[in-house]
Amino acid sequence: MVKKIAFLFPGQGSQYIGMGKKILEAYPETKEIFEQTDEICKMSISQLCFEGPMEVLTLTENLQPAITAVSLACLKVLNNAGIQPYISAGHSLGEYSALVSAGVLDSLDAVRLVKVRGALMHRESTKKPGAMAAIIGLDIEKVQEIVDKAKDHGVLSVANHNSREQIVITGEHEPLKKAINIAKENKAKAIPLKVSGAWHSELIKDAVSDFRQFMEDIPFSRPSSKIIFNATAKEENDPELIKDIMANQLISPVRWYESVINMLDQGVDTFVEVGPKRVLVGLMKKIVPSRSSVKIFNVEDPEGVEKLIKAI
């Protein structure tokens, strides 16, 4: 018997051509979300999701509303089926879908926010180029030690603490290269990521105030259900404080591992990745103890929806 369900929403890196198409075909009520996204973005984001091309879809300013639209379509299907979360969380970009899931934002405002967020991040990445890399095989203390050594060469920090020994670093090219070499000397894998900027780093700090200003005109409500935030790995209920958290999230580490541990400590027994691909499912399998009775699902197509409904 399911007691507590967590909805998890993916971020950038979960895209693929065709995402959302099966959900739209099986559940016509989701059409409104894709149409509204196209209208807000003044281009056919839905066509990019369904048909590509990939090089246009993966532009940050297009990708953020695209992934958000697909995740919100999947969320709508689950909600219409009577499935509600005990708690929600999203990985970086996915936090905006989590805000909708928790009743803080409506879908339209979430898309408006990620459109502007993507444009601001793109703007800063062209002014201050950077890169990111995944370090696999070292814990957060060791990776932070490496970052501290390498950042003598420039801006560098931890971007994502994804699992106990999968940590993404972010910053300028020279210190990042130095950190990769040190990680390899410590027998870790170091994989440069295909991204167009140094996300969650001080290199994009000039976007924070502009984004916070844009949020002033967007109504945020108190959460109607629990939500855990990336920057703190904790809950927050005050709408104005949530706005500050979301603005600072641009340059704050994604504390995903701690967030999941928090949810496990609260007794969550079912995790559902709501949105494209299975990136978060993969991370969950690394975090959840192997002998745990916790169930993990992905909902990105009708098969995933039916599998979850049958299970609960």
Helix, strand or coil, per DSSP, at residue 151: helix
- Give me the active site residues, please: 92, 200
Q: Please indicate, yes or no, whether residues 150 and 274 belong to a single structural domain of this protein.
A: no
Give the domain CATH number at 88.
Answer: 3.40.366.10
Q: Please indicate, yes or no, whether residues 115 and 217 belong to a single structural domain of this protein.
A: yes
Residue 2 has pLDDT above 60, yes or no: no
> What is the spatial order of strands in the sheet that 226-227 belongs to?
226-227, 87-90, 5-9, 270-274, 295-299
Q: Please indicate, yes or no, whether residues 20 and 167 belong to a single structural domain of this protein.
A: no
pLDDT tens-digit series, residues 166-220? 999 999 999 999 999 999 999 999 999 989 999 999 999 999 999 999 999 999 9
Q: Please indicate, yes or no, whether residues 148 and 269 belong to a single structural domain of this protein.
A: no
Residue 308 has pLDDT above 70, yes or no: yes
**Count of domains forming the chain:** 2
Report how far residue 181's alpha carbon sits from residue 165's, in angstroms, rounded to the nearest whole number: 17
Residue 31 has pLDDT above 70, yes or no: yes
pLDDT tens-digit series, residues 263-287? 999 999 999 999 999 999 999 999 9
Q: Exposed, middle or buried: residue 189 (CB in 10 Å: 0-12, 13-18, 19+)?
A: middle
Residue 96 has pLDDT above 90, yes or no: yes
Pairing of strands 131-136, 189-192: antiparallel
Candidates 65, 84, 62; CA nearest to 75 is: 84
- For the record, the structure tokens of 169 come out as 């670093």
Q: Please indicate, yes or no, whether residues 286 and 208 belong to a single structural domain of this protein.
A: yes
pLDDT at 187: 96
Segments of the chain assigned E as strands: 5-9, 87-90, 131-136, 156-163, 166-171, 189-192, 226-227, 270-274, 295-299
Q: Please indicate, yes or no, whether residues 110 and 228 belong to a single structural domain of this protein.
A: yes
- The mean predicted confidence, pLDDT, of the chain is 97
- For the record, the structure tokens of 260 come out as 């999941």
Domain boundary among 173, 196, 219: 196
Instruction: Decide: 196 and 246 in contact? Cβ < 8 Å.
Output: no
Domain boundary among 140, 174, 196: 196
Q: Exposed, middle or buried: residue 27 (CB in 10 Å: 0-12, 13-18, 19+)?
A: middle
With bands split at pLDDT 50, 70 and 90, how would you rate the model's confidence at 14?
Answer: very high
Q: Please indicate, yes or no, whether residues 82 and 207 belong to a single structural domain of this protein.
A: yes
pLDDT at 249: 98
**Structural domain for 165, as ranges:** 130-196
Q: Please indicate, yes or no, whether residues 77 and 136 belong to a single structural domain of this protein.
A: no
With bands split at pLDDT 50, 70 and 90, how would you rate the model's confidence at 290?
Answer: confident
> What 3 state SS string does 21-68 have?
HHHHHHCHHHHHHHHHHHHHHCCCHHHHHHHCCHHHHCCHHHHHHHHH
